[in-house]
Structure 1
Amino acid sequence: MDVQRIAAFSQGSEGGNPAGVVLLQNAASEDEMARVAAEVGYSETAFATEEGDEGKTWRVRYFSPESEVPFCGHATIALGAALGKQNGAGTYTLVLNDATITVDAEATPDGMMATLSSPPTISRAMTEAEARDVLSLFGLTSEDLDPRLPPAYIHGGANHVVLPLKDRARLASMSYDLDKGRSVMREHDLVTVMQVYIEDNQTFVARNAFASGGVVEDPATGAAAAAFAGYLRDSRWPHNGSFIIRQGEDMGSPSLIRVSLDDTKGASVRVSGGARDIK
């Protein structure tokens, strides 16, 4: 298989979250995709098979080194960039396991830019068991949380929980045991745990633990960004229709995620980012 290596949500020639992208002429077996994803070693690899002969509709599956995931934002941005380079700017329809979405590809002076329209969003309060296990995993207590935005279960194509922290230094010190994190996330059917610091109403700094996929941390997580947007909307947060997430700063891979949304509860949100080829 020809694997393209692309960093999504990059800032020019730096940062971003590496993803593998494989454009297939014929569908591959699940075992083959899992094997290739493990060999690539990135947090996710997207496998896309063209449907029809127009090059505008693709069947997409996402694999981490350890498991298949239902939706991955940064790999979708990377896929959009790859499709834009191969087939030109425009809108591509992506048929996922549980949803059908679109990604727009656009050439800019700084390289390819892609914008995905997410699956529907859902949020709810965390259960007692979720809160107990997740807070314990990171050595956090309720005193570490920002009272302006309660911790929550959030969904925008995949399941996450978000922990808003009131101290930027506490976010910077995030650490946990990978094996314990894998157990907690799988027990509660979570793809990532998102920790976030509120810089202002439209600027957030985030870190995303991804033990469920065998990766300690993602430098940029588009699926969690989409889910978080839905949560902000459900919480009537004053987002004014858009916000940015800075991620990866504390791991030396600064990434920038741009999100736009309306006030329609549960509706798709748009997540945008740059992309760069990894040499």
Structure 2
Amino acid sequence: MRTIQRIAAFTDHGAGGNPAGVVIGDTLPDAAEMQRIAAEVGFSETAFAAPQGAGWKTRYYSPETEVPFCGHATIALGAALARAKGAGQYRLFLADGEIEVEAGEEDGRGYATLRSLPTRNEAVPDSLIEEALTLFGYSRDDLDTSLPPRRMNAGAGHLFMALSSRERLSTMHYDLEAGREFMRRHGFVTVAFVWRENQALFHARNAFASGGVPEDPATGAAAAALGGLLRDTGLLTEGEITILQGSDMGRPSRLQVRYGAEVGTPVYVSGESVAM
């Protein structure tokens, strides 16, 4: 019998956040068993970890598929490791690279900072932009032209689309089956819509049909990719941003993102968590 912990990551002053499953064992279950557990848990992702050398072999599963990297489940895993092993820095060996999470606990709340994989981004063709706009019921007039759509990655691929108003962000909707087909065909884990309130504050909604759920309340992988995109395209060369996500779902979440000036280097994403 494996113990499944349920932890809400990226909570906003102890409320909301994105629920993640966490399973820590002496060895990882096989792929079919991890997929079964993730489907049973039903959260957008469940993290699995087992000791490996000086760190932890780590895998992430949504209810429908394996995910290469998940930020909020990493924050939840960090909190679980800190509770079991003590505060500190933990190396995580993913299917395609290595990351770190530094975590601890204070007054019943976990806190953690993950270091992402290196970042990259690229322009996307007009045909893909039009397809996405049609899928989500938007038009070109709804886009923020100062932040053009791009493919972004800090361990997982996302389509970034910036909208011109908070009101348009709040109306995001789409057909789940059509969204799943679109994301899987183009290699996107999520489609990340954002509205920039100011240089340091972003509001986000992340469609996650590829994983079998309509929307993610907090998406650490996309937050890391966004920090890398802003830095690597010269929009914000060095600094820190806050991302507010999940309020449209009734699960307000807060993600803190910081990064250095060197293009392509990993991004740091921090947040609090609470056991459910």
Give me the TM-score of the superposition, normalised by structure 1: 0.96
Give the one of 138, 141, 149 matched to 1:151. Answer: 149
The structural deviation recorded for 1:239 is: 6.2
**1:212 alignment partner in structure 2:** 210
Q: Which residue of 1 aligns with 2:185?
A: 187
Shift of 1:232: 0.3
Q: Helix, strand or coil: the match of 2:214?
A: strand
Residues of 2 paired with 1:130 and 1:191: CA distance?
Answer: 15
1:27-176 aligned within 5 A: 27-52=28-53, 57-109=55-107, 111-176=109-174
After alignment, is 124-133 or 34-43 more displaced? Answer: 124-133
Aligned pair in 2 of structure 1 residues 87, 98: CA closer, same or farther (>3 Å)? same
How far apart are the structure 1 equivalents of 2:42 and 2:219? 16
| 4+ long deviations beyond 3 Å | none
For 1:209, the aligned partner's letter is: A
1:215 partner SS? coil
Q: CA shift at 1:110, angstroms?
A: 5.8
Specify the alignment match of 1:18 in structure 2: 19
Q: Which runs of 5+ in 2 are unaligned?
A: none
One-letter amino acid matched to 2:112 = A
Where does the alignment leave 5 or more consecutive residues of structure 1 unmatched? none
Q: Distance in 1 between matches of 2:87 and 2:29?
A: 26
1-side partners of 2:74 and 2:263: how far apart? 23
**In the alignment, residue 159 of structure 2 is paired with which amino acid?**
V
- CA-atom RMSD, angstroms? 1.1
CA contact (8 A) 2:18 2:72 kept: yes
Counterpart residue identity of residue 44, structure 1: E
Task: Work out the CA distance in 2 between the residues paired with 1:15 and 1:239.
Answer: 31
User: How far, CA to CA, are the matches of 1:11 and 1:239 in structure 2?
Assistant: 27
